[in-house]
Amino acid sequence: MGMITTRDGTEVFYKDWGSGRPVVFSHGWPLNADAWDDQMMLVASRGFRAIAHDRRGHGRSSQPWHGNEMDTYAEDLAHLFETLNLRDAVLVGHSTGGGEVTRYIGRYGTSRVARVVLLGAIPPLMLKTEANPDGLPISVFDDIRAGISADRSQFYKDLSAPFYGANRAGSTVSPGIRDAFWLMSMQVGLKGAIDCVAAFSETDFTEDLQRIDVPTLIAHGDDDQIVPIGASATCPPSSSRTPP
């Protein structure tokens, strides 16, 4: 475990387990690197080097007032790659982390990346626009911001149910898992949490996706209640977008 200091002085926490080919994990909102512990344990136990960081504003990283948007998230990730001299990496992103991974490649290319995995990821765009008519209306994200501002503790407790599908019949999700989600969520600074809503909902990753030139696995559940597959991970035939 360690810290890196970014260009603007923000300290970013990271975990670094095992040795071998690096597998770098980028977490979803409003979580932190601990959300990847099971996956990190798995890959580090099988001869890989597992690395995961807390996005700025989240977890054990600094909570700066500025920089809570995708360009800076990607810059922080690039700084992590450079500081640890990571090469030939497998880069894995979930939800908001999938956007961070995609923007990283859009800005910095794949010279250090050999494989990409996007899991329930936000690209190409979550927000409903003329080019993304099946996206979610801005009111959905305004409600998220309002919920965080009014009572973020209760908001995160409630959010844990659709996040894990615990509100579906036959769910076996334990109260402990939902409590862990709440605990990680409460470590996000309020400013960073609110800013990140705009980052994950309004950022268009279409051009970034076109720069991915390494083998990429895209996995997205058809009952994803946080990043609905129809709103984000697919593009209508009439769209001018290039599908991810």
- In SS3 terms, 200-224 reads as HHHCCCHHHHCCCCCCEEEECCCCC
Cα 5 to Cα 61, 64, 93, 95, 100, distances in angstroms: 10, 12, 22, 25, 18
Residues shown for the chain: 244
Whether 238 has a pLDDT exceeding 90, the answer reads no
Over its C-alpha atoms, the chain yields an Rg (Å, rounded) of 17
The tokens for 235 are 């593009």
pLDDT digits (tens, 9 = 90+) for 10-26: 999 999 999 999 999 99
Model pTM?
Answer: 0.94
d(C-alpha 212, C-alpha 215), whole Å = 8
pLDDT in tens, 27-54: 999 999 999 999 999 999 999 999 999 9
**pLDDT tens for each residue of 60-106:** 999 999 999 999 999 999 999 999 999 999 999 999 999 999 999 99
Q: What is the percent of the chain where pLDDT is above 70?
A: 95
Look at strands 48-53 and 11-18 and give their pairing: antiparallel
- Record the tokens describing residue 228, joined without a space: 């609905």
What does the mean pLDDT of the chain come to?
Answer: 95
Contact status, residue 59 vs residue 187, Cβ threshold 8 Å = yes
pLDDT tens per residue across span 132-182: 999 999 999 999 999 999 999 999 999 999 999 999 999 999 999 999 999
Q: What is the pLDDT of residues 193-229, one digit of tens each?
A: 999 999 999 999 999 999 999 999 999 999 999 999 9
Domains annotated on the chain, with CATH: 2-233 (3.40.50.1820)
Element (H, E) at 5: strand 2-5
Looking at residue 240, its pLDDT comes to: 40
pLDDT for position 1: 73
Q: Which residues contact 231 (CB under 8 A, 6 or more apart)?
A: 126, 128, 132, 134, 135, 136
Tokens encoding 152: 């973020």
